[in-house]
Amino acid sequence: MIEDKNTPRTQISDLGEFGLIAHLTKNFKIKQPTTDFGIGDDAAVLDFKDKKCVVSTDLLIEGVHFDLAYMPLKHLGYKAVIVNLSDIYAMNALATQITISIAVSNRFPLEALEELYAGIHTAAKLYEIDVVGGDTTSSTTGLIISVTAVGYANKEELTYRSGAGEGDLLVVSGDLGAAYMGLQVLEREKQVFEVNPNAQPDLDQYTYLIERQLKPEARKDIPELLKSLGVNPTSMIDISDGLSSEVIHICKQSKVGVNLYEEKIPLDPTVISICEEFKLNSTTIALSGGEDYELLFTIKQEDYPKIKANPNLTVIGHITEEKNGIGLVTRANEKIELKAQGWNPLTP
């Protein structure tokens, strides 16, 4: 996209740093009552009154976390916001503000950054969060984006990874594995394109998978839903690295074990068929794929009637005592120990 000779290319240096910041942030309006002051001073001012404030940050590096060959900048901006909001929702909190920091090389014209910010703007609007600051600097190589998200919750509503107790039910929202398979499809198309640039990929049947990879959504609705059902989860985490890795986090930090049932893991039909096409095991993909941004949480058994009819939620296991271990009960009714094969950021 940025190589396209037909799109206008305005040098960032034409605007200068402050001109650039003003240009990129001109559409951001303050809407949240907890924002006292946003962009324009040395720091933003927030007021959460008697609430607990939650903060989370993420760093995205070109070539490590995203590939601009198939990730449009608008989607990248959107996704950078979403992955951070997901962490706030995983605390059972409401996300209210973000800051965005970018490092860009002169390889990027202004129009490319406008695209990036269009995606950020869309996400901010949809998720009703204020953009209250950031930082802008230059990079000698690729694009770097860091987003920090802020939110709040009542003290008793906050859900930590450490709160799961024996007998609790393990619940997941949505379905798993689609984002990872979307990436596999995109990588395959990229290789085809490198061999034959005139090949026109037919990606229609993969729409859901590609959307899950390029335009993921954060489960803002789940904390709201749980509140409306009168359910306070005992622990919660978002699924960024794959189900196994997140289940292990909850178990280790809560000092409990789990029986996770393979047959209960929610899979979209397109994930099942693409796994057959790629000759991959769909359970392995759901366990290790990552980037689904669904929420994984535990609830007290007595809350089961409140959630059981909800199509967004699936009970996939139950919490046991620690010495039972972290086990996957297979369709053949064999129990195997779960190991995290999730994406390891230090060995990309």
- Residues at the interface with Mg ion (CB under 5 A): 135
Q: Where are the beta strands (DSSP E) in 139-275?
A: 144-153, 169-173, 235-238, 257-261
Q: Which is nearer to Mg ion, 135 or 334 (CB)?
A: 135
Interface with ligand ADP, residue 277, by CB under 6 A? no
The Cα-based distances of 325 to 163, 170, 255, 341 in angstroms read: 17, 15, 10, 17
Residues in contact with ligand ADP, counted by CB under 6 A, come to a total of 14
Cα dihedral 333/339/343/346 (nearest 10): -170
Q: If 0-12 CB within 10 Å is exposed, 13-18 middle and 19+ buried, where does residue 10 land?
A: middle
Name the residue nearer to Mg ion (CB basis): 135 or 187: 135
- Select the binding partner of residue 3 from ligand ADP, Mg ion, none (C-beta < 5 to 8 A, by kind): none
Closest contact distance (angstroms) between CB of 71 and ligand ADP is: 19
Q: How far is the CB of 136 from ligand ADP (least distance, A)?
A: 4
* Distance (Å, whole) CA 9 – CA 115: 12
How many CA atoms does the CB half-sphere of 143 hold within 13 Å?
A: 22
| Nearest position to Mg ion, beta carbon | 135
Show the binding pattern over residues 130-169: x = contacts ligand ADP (CB under 6 A), - = does not: -x-xxxx---------------------------------
Distance CA 187, CA 80 (A): 20
Q: Which of 53, 32, 34 is nearest to 153 (CA)?
A: 53
Binding flag, residue 123, ligand ADP (CB under 6 A) = no
Minimum CB distance to Mg ion smaller for 135 or for 321: 135
Of ligand ADP, Mg ion, none, which one sits near residue 16, judging by CB under 5 to 8 A according to partner kind?
Answer: none
CB-CB contact of 271 with 197 (8 Å): no
Residue 193 belongs to what H/E stretch? helix 178-195
Residue placing its CB nearer to Mg ion in the complex, 135 or 224: 135
Q: Which is nearer to ligand ADP, 146 or 235 (CB)?
A: 146
Least Cβ distance, residue 240 to ligand ADP (angstroms):
23
Please give the residues from 31 up to 60 whose contact with ligand ADP meets the rule CB under 6 A: 39-42
Closer Cβ to ligand ADP, 3 or 42, answer by number: 42
Output the CA–CA distances (angstroms, integers) from residue 79 to 50, 233, 293, in the order listed: 31, 26, 11
Query: What is the C-alpha separation between 36 and 48, in angstroms, rounded?
Result: 10
Our finding on whether 124 is near ligand ADP (CB under 6 A) is no
Of 137 and 301, which has the nearer Cβ to Mg ion? 137
Cα-based angle 103, 80, 191 (whole degrees, multiple of 5): 90
Q: Which of residues 99-118 bind ligand ADP (CB under 6 A)?
A: 100, 102
* 270 touches ligand ADP (CB under 6 A): no
Residue 57 β-bridge partners: 148
From Mg ion, ligand ADP, none, interface partner of 102 (C-beta below 5 to 8 A by class)? ligand ADP
Q: Contact positions toward ligand ADP, by CB under 6 A?
A: 21, 24-25, 39-42, 100, 102, 131, 133-136
